Amino acid sequence: MSTMGTATTRVLGLTLIVATVLLVSKTGSILVSVGIVSFALIALWLLQSAPSSWSLALLFAAMAVDDPQSLPNEGRWKSPFNEPGRLLFENLRHITGIESQRFSLFELLVATLAVTLLLRRSFAPQSHESRLRKDTRVLRTFLAVASATVVWLCVYGQLRGGDFRQSMWQGRQLFWLPILGFVFLETLTTEEARRRLLWVVVLAATLRASLGLYYYFIICRPDGYLPHYATSHSDTLLFGAATIIAIARLLEQNSRRSWVLAAVIIPLMLAAMAANNRRLAYVALAACVASSFPLWRPAVRRFLWIASAIATPVLALYLALGWSSGSRFFRPAYSIRTMISSEDTSTETREIENYNLTTTALARPILGQGLGHPYDERVVAYSIEANFEQYRFIAHNSVLWLLSVGGLIGFLGIWIIVPLTSLYAWRAYRRARSGSDRVSAVFSHSIVVLYLAQAYGDIGMQSWLPTLVLGAALGMVGNLMASLEARAEDATRRRSSAEFGAAHLAEVVS
């Protein structure tokens, strides 16, 4: 090591020791002080390293562990990922005992990464990433608008006498969604990073599916217990995302590796969906395939027409046989039946909730009621307040709920980034020249559909996993579109230069 390097190391080490001592004297806690210094070290290291690795590592960890908010495995079994999930997602005050720490380790990590990326962006030299930032300015502007809208709804709700504690529960994930979008816009700037994102999603889904099937067959089956769900409600989106990735790779990259991936992942995800018993999963997956149909290349569409013609009679027979069957094999068919049956209690209560949310939204159609307010319960099904304190603050139908708290202005300010992600995906698919880029575009569009289904039917906007995956898809497709546009501009510029050179040469010769 050089003399300069040794001196720098000593100065840095002395600075860290002094900083730790000062923090201990200020906070009175060695653990908290070491934690703060550690985050500072991580931030400094990130300034000099490839940030995509850190954002993808954080994404995988957040998708793989159990989110305590979602009551994984019905609370009957604690998987090996239960305690890491508590550490990552529960408020730190439950871990450190410091009452003021009403935020989670995950939020602290995201904030650290976002600030680090802002610093890196400010001091980094001009590069390919700088050009991508310019090409994603529209998307970044709407992310800023979404962040400002969430803050406004919180302030507006307090001015109207709202409950601040409940507003934090309502707007927490909405607040972090644009920040996560920014983080992934800053990090998923290369084709390799986008490919790695897809693998991260598949690996996390495989892990969650395996845990769910273990719980279903090893923990519950021997006791004769039929679980209401195997992992969590939010995992519906993750299983659907992995299935779409496998299908898209098979259709766009017809290789031996793609066939192996599809043969392993698709049956595993379908089994996990059946064990998880979320009827929304089948509708969301079908909506992904149907809405992506106009997107595919003509050759792919022809293949899908043939596959649909073969599968439709088989599916119809399965639904007919399982419509009134109590067999576990026909459980998906029965789940679909309950979605369209007015006799189902769950369907009836959702319809009542939707009516109450609609009347609440119509009462204040422009500005809404702000965060911190419950929806107006004009029709009462049955109260679950004893078990779920926030049931009138956090509705199952997050889309109508957002319309009720934000009105038209607040709804558009936040929701605009969702259809914008899909629009970018469609444009990117049309411009893509490689199968990898087309898979990324289809994945991003499908995440929007899955998020919409989860938000409309199962508290999607107040769940971490849908928020995380949508933020990642937004960052991926924004950079993909910018990269494709940059390539097109470069090709046009080279072609123009070549034409000018040829014309000039012809003029000289003549």
pLDDT tens column, 370-415: 999 999 988 887 766 666 778 889 998 999 999 999 999 999 999 9
Residue appearing with tokens 């972090």 = 176
34 domain residue, yes or no: no
* 66 has pLDDT over 90: yes
Query: Distance from first CA to last CA of the chain, Å, rounded?
Result: 65
Helix (H, G, I), strand (E, B) or coil at 188: coil
Q: How confident is the model at residue 313 (pLDDT cuts 50, 70, 90)?
A: confident
pLDDT band at 455 (very low <50, low <70, confident <90, very high): very high
In a domain, 7, yes or no: no
Burial of 75 (0-12, 13-18, 19+ CB in 10 A): exposed
Q: What's the whole-number mean pLDDT along residues 211-225?
A: 92
Residue 234 pLDDT: 93
Judge whether 461 and 401 are in contact, CB under 8 Å: yes
Contact 422, 445 (CB under 8 A): yes
The answer to whether the CB of 368 falls within 8 A of the CB of 403 is yes
Residue 448 near residue 471 (C-beta atoms within 8 A): no
The mean per-residue pLDDT over the stretch 1-7 comes to 48
Q: Report the sign of the C-alpha dihedral through residues 63, 177, 273, 71, in that order.
A: positive
Q: Is residue 416 part of a domain?
A: yes
Q: What is the pLDDT of residue 2?
A: 46
Residue 26 placed within a domain: no
Does residue 43 carry a pLDDT above 90? no
* pLDDT at residue 23, rounded to an integer: 60
Angle at 140 between CA 135 and CA 145, to 5 degrees: 150
Q: At what angle do helices 331-340 and 256-276 cross, to 10 degrees?
A: 60
Is the residue at 22 inside a domain? no
Average pLDDT across the chain, whole number: 84
- Alpha helix segments (H runs only) across 75-225: 82-89, 93-96, 105-123, 128-135, 137-159, 164-187, 191-214
CA–CA dist 281, 277 (Å, integer): 8
The larger pLDDT score, comparing residue 196 to residue 458, is at 196
Rounded to 10 degrees, the C-alpha dihedral 61/65/68/70 comes to 100
Instruction: Name every residue whose Cβ is closer than 8 Å to that of residue 88 and which is 6 or more positions away in sequence.
Output: 61, 62, 65, 104, 105, 106
Confidence of residue 47 (pLDDT cuts 50, 70, 90): very low
More confident residue, 203 or 317: 203
User: What is the rounded distance in angstroms from the CA atom of residue 111 to the CA atom of residue 56?
Assistant: 15
- pTM of this structure: 0.84
Q: What is the pLDDT of residues 102-151, one digit of tens each?
A: 899 999 999 989 988 888 777 665 555 555 666 788 899 999 999 999 99
* Residue 15 resides in a domain: no
Cα–Cα nearest to 204, from 71, 85, 59: 59
Inform me whether the pLDDT recorded for 267 exceeds 70.
yes
Structure tokens at 501: 């050179």
pLDDT of 207 higher than 60: yes
Number of domains in the chain: 1
What angle do the packed helices 279-292 and 435-457 form, to 10 degrees?
A: 140
Query: Confidence class of residue 1 from pLDDT cuts 50, 70 and 90?
Result: very low
Q: Which of 192-201, 357-366, 384-393 has the lowest mean pLDDT?
A: 384-393
- How many C-beta neighbours within 10 Å does residue 131 have? 15
Retrieve residue 492's tokens. Answer: 């046009």
- Tens-digit pLDDT profile for residues 238-256: 999 999 999 999 999 888 9
User: Which pLDDT does position 136 carry in this prediction?
Assistant: 82
Element housing 384 (H / E):
none
Residue of higher predicted confidence among 317 and 93: 93
Which ranges of 416-463 would DSSP assign to H, the alpha helix? 417-431, 435-457
Specify the pLDDT at position 117.
Answer: 86
DSSP assignment, residue 375? Answer: P
Q: Assign 40 a pLDDT band (cuts: 50, 70, 90).
A: low
- Whether residue 493 is predicted with pLDDT greater than 70 in this model: the reply is no
Q: What is the pLDDT of residues 322-351, one digit of tens each?
A: 766 666 666 677 666 666 655 666 777 888
Neighbour tally for 353: CB within 10 Å: 21
pLDDT surpassing 50 at residue 4: no
Domain that holds residue 230: 39-120+128-499
- Please name the residue that has the structure tokens 């969702």: 418
Instruction: Identify the pLDDT of residue 106.
Output: 94
* Higher per-residue confidence, 508 vs 486: 486
What local confidence, expressed as pLDDT, does residue 34 receive?
Answer: 60
Residue with tokens 């595919």: 296
Q: What is the mean pLDDT of residues 14-37?
A: 62
Give the count of alpha carbons within 13 A of 437, CB side only: 22
User: At residue 104, what are phi and psi to the nearest 5 degrees?
Assistant: -95, 165
